[in-house]
Structure 1
Amino acid sequence: MRKRVAFLINPSKRVRLNAYVQWVKSCVSCELFIFDEQWPASIDEFDEVWVMGGDGTFNYFVNAYPACDKPIALFKGGTGNDFYWKLFGNMSREMHLKVVLDAHVEAIDAGRVNEMLFLNGVGIGIEGEVLAAMDAIRWIGGAIGYYLAAIPALFRFKSYTILKTRPVFLCMVFNSSRAGGGFHFFPMASVQDGLLDMLVCDPLPIWKRLFYMPIIQSGKHINLPFVHFSKISSMQIVCDRVLKAQVDGEVLESDTFDFTILPAKFKFIVPVKL
């Protein structure tokens, strides 16, 4: 019996991704059911689920199907593709499809913030402001688009206080390593260690914000004295004002963020040596 696969495409990008979808379809022998307009109410009847899009699409998927126990394959089709990169790196489409068809499955952690699941990470404050600004330049995408949105935010964003007494410029809680199409905020992060990674940056003058931005992008900020890393399994972060947070490319607005790790939550198809 042929394997039954649900292939879920981001509907807003189905025209742009159509050639890629048709190429995949021409290369496989499984029974492929393509959903590029409306996703199914249930995926129980399928053996695997393939999802094409970016971090926001993958975030939508895990929140739409939080109990999914099927092997999941991700296909790159977004602007940042940061979680995809964590699993597959920069491999070619041909090599990626071979990995998907080989179907090596491993359990991967997820996180929860308030009522939202996330795969990649959450940035509270300036990350949320940058994401909101990127809506106007999302067509550029990647690190260049992130820079264009981030630089004005670096000038105007005001530090805030968490945990009642700690002033910060930046607070991030991640499951994976990078965001913004290539900013390596957590170069040491693992998606299989059963923990979330937390970064807190002390308040900085504007010139330091600008100076250290490319250093943070490259992941060379681990030993900076004003950047602090820790591992957590759960934490409540209460801020002194309502802030925007980016959650895998989606915006969450609150003054309280409850984080919990969900160890080995989903089964992903990955390279043998992840």
Structure 2
Amino acid sequence: MGSALRALLIALLVAIPSLFLADSVSDSAHMAALIALVAAVVTFSEYYSEYPTFLEFRNAPPFNRLRFLGLFFCVLFASLLTASEGRGPGVSMTLLQQWSHRTAMIFDFPFSPVHLMSIAFGDRPGLFDVPAITRMASILFVVTLVTLALFWIHARFIFWPIRKKAFNFWINLPLFDPTSGRDVLFRLKRDAHLNVALGFLLPFVIPALLRLWIGAFDPALLVVPEVLIWVLCAWAFLPLTLMMRGIALFRVAALIEEKRRRAYAQDDELQIA
């Protein structure tokens, strides 16, 4: 039952832009339906199976739940804002549009990720609605910050991931082999630092890559509302998931270090006795 519900939610997440955009192209809707079906099947098989495949922290909630909620609200807010912008002038702003205006005023300052995203599309003002993209990017940035803060608080103060049950290393980190290479503690901390660093840099790097793409290739693909929504959501979600993974690996490393310290202390007591 839980696997089917997760698969249904993932399919709904993928289909949100096509559901909210009335002028969605039929080809885009068909592609979204296909991707939603594939995502649902993969999610169902991942959670239905007793053995891990590739999804990390599968049995360590709320890691994946928060990631899903973060991406869900990013896609939902971006779709709602895109649909609201298409209503034309003279229509009163929605509450979400008012929030996006306020967040844009706060986060659209020089060298901020939101400002860099507006610069990435600023070379083609006749092709893109740059103020609308800036407002959308600012609201997505707020969603990712809130999600990251919630997970950090949960990991730091609510004893994640061992508050309810023991942490199964194989189930939750299936792609990490603790028996190969250097000491597992060193590798966990190294990967954690790498994930946090990449998560911090990506909001600044992705706008630069987008500007190179728009300048070197035909940017007409980004004009499609569904594509633009997913590009902005990827800009917000990829750094979020990398930083959450880094925080999670730091937490797992701390648990292993604490367990080793206790084992060494017990050995010392036995030797003294």
* TM-score (ref. length: structure 1): 0.26
* TM-score (ref. length: structure 2): 0.26
Name the structure where strand makes up a greater proportion of residues.
1
Name the structure where helix makes up a greater proportion of residues.
2
